[in-house]
Structure 1
């Protein structure tokens, strides 16, 4: 069984930067494919490129992997195909899925995009496969949030590993070309603070009137999540009537006075 630990993979990345290189636009969320008839289904994976790093021309090849599981524990069910950028006529891939790769359940596709200096990992929305005959167990829950995309770009200024202590240095005191942003981690269960104050009351800005030949900063690295976001579906079958679900009440229970009918006096002509 090939298990891909999301947290382990997340921590091994060089950064969780805010690149928007690829955006998955299909398949749509909660799509359902029935494989009971032909024994296979075609899932069209579509994506779009943006103008930020890495750009479309930087990608060398793409690997598509059928996955299942939660965001915290992703399981690779089957490698679908690896294609070079030249073999993809457009930003679309038709994934042919056989009904022998696993059981009925919820799946999604990982898009691994490789460049000369790194790679990006994106995930499609989850979809449900029916009529499966495989023995490999798929996750039954339709988690609504897709796994977080990941980017690994190697530069001469940023090594392959990150010292976690770098995130403890105040941002304004960092002098390197790679800055480390101290992001908020998982909040505590209780709020103990009585007052608040601004952490950085002022900030500085430098205006340039001529073009510089060097830069002060190449990128900002943010730490990974310190917790796992879990979600699941409510599998309870709803009752046929609202009253059975507790969604209706008799308004008489809230009456404190008895309603009375008052007849008005009529004027006699």
Structure 2
């Protein structure tokens, strides 16, 4: 009985490891796990992972520097290097614009790519490394996330193409608030589920001048003929509000109803 359970456990473990391996797509060969980087430049090198999609299939990617834990709510992107990256070149020298945006805690940092490919979005993470010349501090949430970190592994890959069930969202549910899915421009998303950014809070004043689009327009097709393929998107999920709204009841008494000749005139039309 013990031998049978051991074989079953070993089979499940091997299957899990194989599944995780096939989810790889964009791999980071630099910086190395546990590396200590001095100065304000990070030499980043991409490599093609063993799984789908191929690095050549990505149309663009967003590259960010993140700090914190491995859970979605325990780390934050503190710097975006590019939001229109091109993977035709495997090397990317990333420049940190300010050394005050974070601390120098050991293995606090990792890189995140949000890649767009036919069929969906793929989010990859690098191993952890240290930026020893940073002079800033982290937020309490990031500090709490780092307290739970051991080792140099970053968060797990979120591959909606190789692992479509990750893209499935139950009715009434949503991706993590502020998650990387919402940071991909809507017109660049290709999966069956699209993610829209948080609605902008209404201003206190409305002006008729200087209005501009917050996001660029996207292409659309009008489905007029029968027999045409169904549109790819099946659902759009909007990011949750991170601000609160308070409503107040007006305390000014309403104006009284007219009682003069105008009221008598209006009463004629009651029917």
In which range does the TM-score fall when normalised by the shorter chain?
A: 0.3 to 0.5
Which protein has the larger Cα radius of gyration, Structure 1 or Structure 2? 1
Q: Higher strand proportion, which one?
A: 1
Higher relative contact order (CA 8 A, sep 6+): 1
